[in-house]
Amino acid sequence: MKKGNYRTLIGLMLFVLFLGSNTEISKAGETKNNKVAAKVNGEIILLEDIDSILKQRGPSLVPLTQSQLILDRRQTLELLITECLVRQYFKEAKITVPKSEVDKGMIELIGSLKQEGKTLEDYLKENNQTESQLRATIYQLLQMSQFMKTSVTEEKLKPYYEQNKDFFDKTTVQVSHIVIRVAQNAKPEEKQNAYDRLKKIREEIINKKKDFASAAKEYSQCPSAPNGGDLGFISRKFQVDESIAKTAFSLNIGEISDIVESEFGYHILMVTEKKAGRPSNFEKSLADVKDSFEVELKQNLIHQLRSRAKIEIFLPEK
């Protein structure tokens, strides 16, 4: 790993470092001195942990309202939950790193700091961290690196490239949608009602009782509704939900999709324009393919871990 990249990654990991893994939990949902913000498979995250990370950012230029502070806490908690789940997974999968590799990481970081005229003590103070916490961060970075080495192979990259060639060619499509929102934890009858409602809207468009843009303005539960549901040009990856992108790139211009489910609800799509990119090839695109595959691999891992985890939130609303 290059020095610059290594230090950047350490900085990012420090931001989501889990601080409270060894704190005792009481029956009242509090530790001896602090409130529990969440439990992740029985492991706790303290409110103190969240506020410690927020403190690292420094004071806000504009005083935060109570609702903004609550939102900041919730977003930080989500990062901590993710970090906790990944760390638990690495432990379960027995992905370990020799102490000597962590020592090398520390030496590399110290060398990078020295070039800037800083010491390790300066760095720890700036980030409100201890050396043991920094070592834990480096350890997890190396675990992730090891996980990637075993998971990312050319045998997997080649078909991934072929399946997503539009993305590497930089092809884009302009897509409009109509969405009926429904929560992921909604009752089956609520989901069915939303599905049936969108099905009727789709039939109106197919039977030319309404055009797509007019239907979007009338029915879609999205900020894009006043613009006829126009989401603008999207690439094949990382801009919208995968189910939406995959469907959009399979459509001909003017074709109305079947009903598509995403984490936000149910959608119907229509592509209004396509812009061809430049033909790519696997060998020349290998670095981009590897980066994209790794990003998606991490996203899928986190999604799977969250879907089977027991996560309890106790974050106070005041």
202 is a domain residue:
yes
17 is a domain residue:
yes
Q: How far is CA 281 from the centre of its chain?
A: 28
Enclosing domain of residue 104: 3-154+292-313
286 is a domain residue:
no
Reported as a single tens digit per residue, the pLDDT across 162-212 is 999 999 999 999 999 999 998 877 889 999 999 999 999 999 999 999 999
Q: How far apart are CA 193 and CA 191, in angstroms?
A: 5
Continuous segment of H or E residues that includes residue 175: strand 172-181
Domains in the chain, number: 2
Contact 2, 109 (CB under 8 A): no
Reported as a single tens digit per residue, the pLDDT across 289-303 is 999 999 899 988 998
Q: Which residue bears the tokens 């050396």? A: 131
> Can you give the pLDDT at residue 26?
33
70, amino acid identity: I
Reported as a single tens digit per residue, the pLDDT across 243-266 is 999 999 999 999 999 999 988 899
DSSP conformation class of 63: P
Please report, for the domain that includes residue 22, its CATH number. 1.10.4030.10
Q: How far apart are CA 194 and CA 200, in angstroms?
A: 10
* 220 shares its domain with 120: no
* 12 shares its domain with 150: yes
Q: Which pLDDT band, with edges at 50, 70 and 90, does 85 fall under?
A: very high
Average of per-residue pLDDT across 127-140: 85
Reported as a single tens digit per residue, the pLDDT across 93-115 is 999 999 999 999 999 999 999 99
> Can you give the pLDDT at residue 5?
45
* 103 shares its domain with 181: no
> Can you give the pLDDT at residue 1?
42
> Can you give the pLDDT at residue 81?
93
* 55 shares its domain with 150: yes
User: How far is the CA of 163 from the CAs of 168, 195, 282, in angstroms?
Assistant: 10, 29, 12
Beta strands in 22-96 (DSSP E): 36-40, 43-46
Average of per-residue pLDDT across 73-86: 90
Cβ neighbours of residue 111 under 8 Å, at least 6 residues apart? 3
* 176 shares its domain with 253: yes
Reported as a single tens digit per residue, the pLDDT across 53-78 is 777 766 666 676 777 778 888 888 99
